[in-house]
Amino acid sequence: MAQNIYDDPAFFAGYSRLPRQTLGLDGAPEWPAVRALIPDLTGRRVLDLGCGFGWAARWMREQGATSVLGLDLSETMLARARADTADPAIQYSLADLEDLDLPADTFDFAFSALAFHYVRDFDRLVRAIGRALTPGGGLVFTIEHPIYMAAAHADWLTGPDGRKTWPVDQYALEGERRTDWFVKGVLKHHRTLATTLNALIRADFLIQAVEEFAPTAEQIDRTPALAEELERPMMLIVSARKAAA
């Protein structure tokens, strides 16, 4: 079972104050890049893996999705999603992505934002998603970039000249990473970029696009703190498609 840190009251209190939770999708600087990879959802049955507060689920319905199933490990997150959603075509359900088991050929598109790096067995997960998608079905997901999360003690290093650099060590040593974020000991699972993409290929996904998110000049003008994101990729965005039968 994946670590359910989101039901920790201290973690949830801090997480709820993040701009991407108070402002929704507009508070996520990577959202324009993600949105550009999402296909036309008109008439599509959508699966939202790690749905959180339901921001993406509601947006997908606005784009014409016939139905959305949001899955999350956190009862607290799901309670908030249900409270903020008044749409019978959006359903939320408790699920652990470590042992995801869904009926075959049930969804036309799957989406996940910043959830897969909490999953230990990524190979199993992508195979389960592949089974649940119809032939030709799409998958778009974001994860913390392997360069961002590889180091055992990932944080900015400041040199004598004041320049900040990001450490990249233990990159080829895949496995657990612990970080202190709102609470101590948040568990994530580091995989190299090659491991991530090859898992998709083995599960008969065709990779459509790979983006290493960096803010635009316009975004930096509006939010100067984003300039440090040019120093290293924090987020990986992947678009893939299940091979047609």
Residue type for 119, please?
A: V
Given a cut of 80, whether residue 7 has pLDDT beyond it is no
At residue 33, φ and ψ (nearest 5 deg) are: -70, -40
Q: How confident is the model at residue 164, as a pLDDT?
A: 87
Pairwise CA distance, residues 75 & 94, whole Å:
7
Q: Of the ranges 9-18, 126-135, 158-167, 197-206, which one carries the lowest mean pLDDT score?
A: 9-18
Could you identify the residue written with the tokens 């180091």? 151
Pairwise CA distance, residues 55 & 215, whole Å:
21
SS3 196: helix
SS3 70: strand
- The confidence band for 116, taking pLDDT boundaries of 50, 70 and 90, is very high
**Residues 124 and 95 sit within 8 Å (Cβ to Cβ):** no
Given a cut of 70, whether residue 76 has pLDDT beyond it is yes
pTM of the model: 0.93
Q: What is the mean pLDDT of residues 158-181?
A: 88
Given a cut of 90, whether residue 184 has pLDDT beyond it is no
pLDDT tens digits, 215-238: 999 999 999 989 989 999 999 999
Q: How confident is the model at residue 159, as a pLDDT?
A: 87
SS3 97: helix
Question: In degrees, to the nearest 5, what angle opens at C-alpha 3 toward C-alphas 9 and 183?
Answer: 40
Q: What is the mean pLDDT of residues 40-47?
A: 98
Report the chain's mean pLDDT, rounded to a whole number. 92
CATH number listed for the domain at residues 5-18+26-242: 3.40.50.150
Pairwise CA distance, residues 89 & 67, whole Å:
5
